[in-house]
Structure 1
Amino acid sequence: MKFGENIKEVAGNVQKNVKRSIESMLGLKVNTVNVHVIGVDFGGSAGAKTAVTMK
């Protein structure tokens, strides 16, 4: 994830893609995909980094 990207938008896209992938590959109905941003690092020359976990 690059500095300046909208975290809420990226998390929403992750939710949609995970839901669609599980439903199409496994044929299971997915009710909810939770995305938790657990950290943001604004330091260093590489830009922002985020750690995201999904439950």
Structure 2
Amino acid sequence: MGRAGELGVTKGSAGEHCRPELEHVGTGTGSANSAMIRVNERLGFVTAREVVVVNRSP
């Protein structure tokens, strides 16, 4: 599902609805999801930043 979804987003972005003024596309992928990270890299995306989420224990 991940690869098909990502390819669909990419094709839609580059297809008839092309928005050449866009410089960045935001997405979220868990750091442990190496398969999806590889798909993103194959499509030419690079990691721009990493977010760390912390919670306080109750």
Question: TM (normalized to structure 1)?
Answer: 0.38
Higher normalized strand content (fraction of residues): 1
Larger Cα Rg: Structure 1 or Structure 2?
2
